[in-house]
């Protein structure tokens, strides 16, 4: 029997090793994590936060709603005005310390980003990644066993992340190859949260983020795009 390779079954987020891994984060997903942290008693408005993979600012927007101060940067200039900086370059600097670090890192470099974020964050680290990130022998031995997250938060709704654009879940994706295709994903996402107050080794508590997308979406979350004449033009622009 041949394998079903339809996009509804297969996980599609596979990037080349030199890719920028440009998959913008829907703001509602970040708001959901902030709500969970607030439920634990954290007063985020009295804390600062760093976002080192700022992309076009779709995660920075809700972080600035929640935190007293947010510092953002990225290794590439996406045109949003954030400083261009390689978060993984150079030795740890005390001036880079922050209360929280939030990020949706490139999958192939996620472990390196997390390790540095844990060192430089005084209170905690929150990472959005594919749920499959919890798998893997090397990550288990190098990250999850010696530094287990305090929480793994499974999104019960799919967090739609598409390459190079941010489209509301269920809305028509004007950049899809097939006209009329609605934005969706076969990829499951979770948030991994490290709390510095928890002793290591700690038990990782699994929680589920209940459906909340419609409640947490805001006007202005999703860009209005000038749609290219053809899908071929879009692909060409994305590769630039």
- Given a cut of 70, is residue 20 above it in pLDDT? yes
Tell me the per-residue pLDDT of 160-181, one tens digit each, with 9 for 90 and over: 999 999 999 999 999 999 999 9
The gap between the terminal CA atoms of the chain, to the nearest Å, is: 40
pLDDT at 230: 55
pLDDT in tens, 199-216: 776 789 999 999 999 999
Q: Are 87 and 53 in contact (CB under 8 A)?
A: yes
Query: Predicted confidence band at 232 (pLDDT cuts at 50, 70, 90)?
Result: very low
Using 50, 70 and 90 to split pLDDT, how confident is the model at 8? very low
Coil, strand or helix at 65 = helix
> Would you state the pLDDT for residue 19?
57
For residue 186, is the peptide bond before it cis, meaning its omega torsion is within 30 degrees of 0?
no
Q: How many helices (H) and strands (E) does the chain have?
A: 6, 7
**pTM for the structure as a whole:** 0.87
Phi-psi region of 149 (alpha: psi -120 to 50; beta: other; left: phi over 0): beta
């Amino acid at each position: 029997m041949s394998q079903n390779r339809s996009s509804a079954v297969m996980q599609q987020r596979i990037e080349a090793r030199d890719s920028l891994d440009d998959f913008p984060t829907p703001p509602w997903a970040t708001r959901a994590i902030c709500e969970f942290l607030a439920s634990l008693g954290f007063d985020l408005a009295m804390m600062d936060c760093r976002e080192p993979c700022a992309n076009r600012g779709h995660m920075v927007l809700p972080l600035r709603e929640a935190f007293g101060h947010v510092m953002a940067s990225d290794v590439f200039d996406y045109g949003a005005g954030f400083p261009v900086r390689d978060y993984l370059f150079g030795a740890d600097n005390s001036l880079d310390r922050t209360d929280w670090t939030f990020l949706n890192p490139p999958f192939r470099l996620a472990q390196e980003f997390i390790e540095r974020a844990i060192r430089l964050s005084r209170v905690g680290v929150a990472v959005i990644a594919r749920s499959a990130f919890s798998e893997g022998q090397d990550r288990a031995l190098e990250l999850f066993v010696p530094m287990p997250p305090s929480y793994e938060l499974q999104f019960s709704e799919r967090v739609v992340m598409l390459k190079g654009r941010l489209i509301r879940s269920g809305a028509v994706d004007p950049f899809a190859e097939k006209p009329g295709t609605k934005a969706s994903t076969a990829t499951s996402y979770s948030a991994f949260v490290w709390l510095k107050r928890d002793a290591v080794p700690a038990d990782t508590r699994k929680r589920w983020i209940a459906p909340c997308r419609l409640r947490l979406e805001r006007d202005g979350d999703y860009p209005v795009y000038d749609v290219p004449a053809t899908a071929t033009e879009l692909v060409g622009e994305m590769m630039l």
